[in-house]
Structure formats: structure tokens, C-alpha cells
Amino acid sequence: MDFSNKLFKAKFIKRYKRFFSDHILEDGTIVTAHCANTGAMLGITEKGVTSWLSKSDNPKRKLKWSWELVQKGKTFIGINTHNPNKIIQEAIQKNEIFEFDNYDSLKREVKYGTNSKIDILLTDKIKKDCYVEIKNVHLSRKKGVAEFPDAVTTRGRKHLKELSLVSQSGLRAVMLFLIQRNDCNFFKIAEDIDKEYAKAFNDAIKAGVEVICIDTTLNSKAINIGKKIQLLEDN
């Protein structure tokens, strides 16, 4: 996924009211950017950390700026939770994820379950329907290990339970974790942050839900899928 507009380098100042963040651009201008990420963003919101922002030309937008990336040393970290679905859709359409090859149709945000919407629904005349839930992963507290979630997520637990029901009905259900950073070779569930999510995750696996963990190659110009990384099953 190429960024449609040039990204501007800045320094992070603060985050507040959940969706607002202040940054100082290289020319000294202070701007307020939309923060799509509703998580705690552990370890990546230290004051002064390098941030990358996009600017919208849409005159109807109240906030022209959006916070896209954090950069820590050579490591870029994608924090915009609106991007993973676009990244995965593009990868599927380019046949870059073999588990999803050769489906006839791809639809986004399809209603299912109890007032839920699946991120991607793949359908085919021959194959079983495939329901794909995508989670953005940016947390890493131990070198080389990505984790999810970074805060208690009742919504995330609900999604796992919905996927379990899909799998039990005989259809394909996939929980896909997209690691929006390029410095991790392993992924694990952060049980210490949300024990109930960890339990729901293990229950989902027992119910037949498939788990795929993919990292990314990312910089200030584009984010693309990288390699599959190993799930550490110690929850």
C-alpha cells in the first residue's frame, strides 16, 4: 500500500481525548493530527519520538492531519488502524497470501453474527466462504516479539467468539494479525494485559479458527506485507 499523499516528518508532543495528537513539524509548526488508534499505544508515545503524518486535501475534514507512523531508530511502526484492511485487501488481490488464493470474490465490512462486520469476506463457487478478521499489531515489549492486545479489548473478544461460531458452522474463519513493524520474528498474545482475550483466543483455536501472523516492510512511502512470523503458543 503506497501512501496516497507525501508524509511529513515531525516530533510527537502529546495524545489526548483518545483521537487527538499534537506534533511539531520540522519547520517548527505545531499541528493537531487525528489518531485512529484506540489502543494504549504502549511504548511508542514517548514525548519527542519521531512521527510521520499525512495531510488530507479534503475540505470537509475537521482535522487535516493524520498520524500514520512512529519511527524509533531504524524501525518504523504503523499506528493507523485504518490501514491494515487496505494492506491485506491489496495483498490478497495480488495473490501474495497463498491461504487466500483463487477466491472469486472479496467483500469488505460485511455484516455477520450479532451486529458485527467482518473485515474481509472471501467467497467462491467451489470453496467454503472465508471470514477474515484483521488486527493491527504495534506492541513489542521484548526484542523480536510482537504482542496483541495493548489494552483490554471487549470488542476483540467478541470478534473471536463470532469467528468461533463461523468455524463451528463449517465455514472458514481466520484471525489475521498484521504486525505493522519490521523488527519482530515472533508473535504472542499479551495475556498479562487481557486474560479474557487470551482465553477467547485459545477457545477460538480449539473451535477451528485459523491464525495467520504477518509482518510488514514499511517506511514513509509505503507499507507492504512481509513474511509470516511464528505464533508463540504459551498462553
Q: Which domains does the chain have, with CATH numbers?
A: 7-78 (2.40.50.580), 83-231 (3.40.1350.60)
Task: Write out pLDDT tens, residues 93-152.
Answer: 999 999 999 999 999 999 998 889 999 999 999 999 999 999 999 999 999 999 999 999
CB 42 within 8 A of CB 36: no
pLDDT of residue 115: 85
pLDDT of residue 47: 97
Amino acid of residue 150: D
pLDDT of residue 113: 86
CB 122 within 8 A of CB 132: yes
pLDDT of residue 18: 87
What is the pLDDT tens value at each position of the chain, 235 positions in all? Answer: 999 899 999 999 999 998 999 999 999 999 999 999 988 999 999 999 999 999 999 999 999 999 999 999 999 999 999 999 999 999 999 999 999 999 999 999 999 988 899 999 999 999 999 999 999 999 999 999 999 999 999 999 999 999 999 999 999 999 999 999 999 999 999 999 999 999 999 999 999 999 999 999 999 999 999 999 999 986 5
What CA–CA distances, in Å, run from 114 to 98, 152, 159, 204, 212? 30, 20, 10, 17, 24
How far is it, in rounded angstroms, from Cα 85 to Cα 80?
A: 11
Q: Is residue 109 packed enough to be buried (19+ CB in 10 Å), middle (13-18) or exposed (0-12)? A: exposed
pLDDT of residue 234: 67
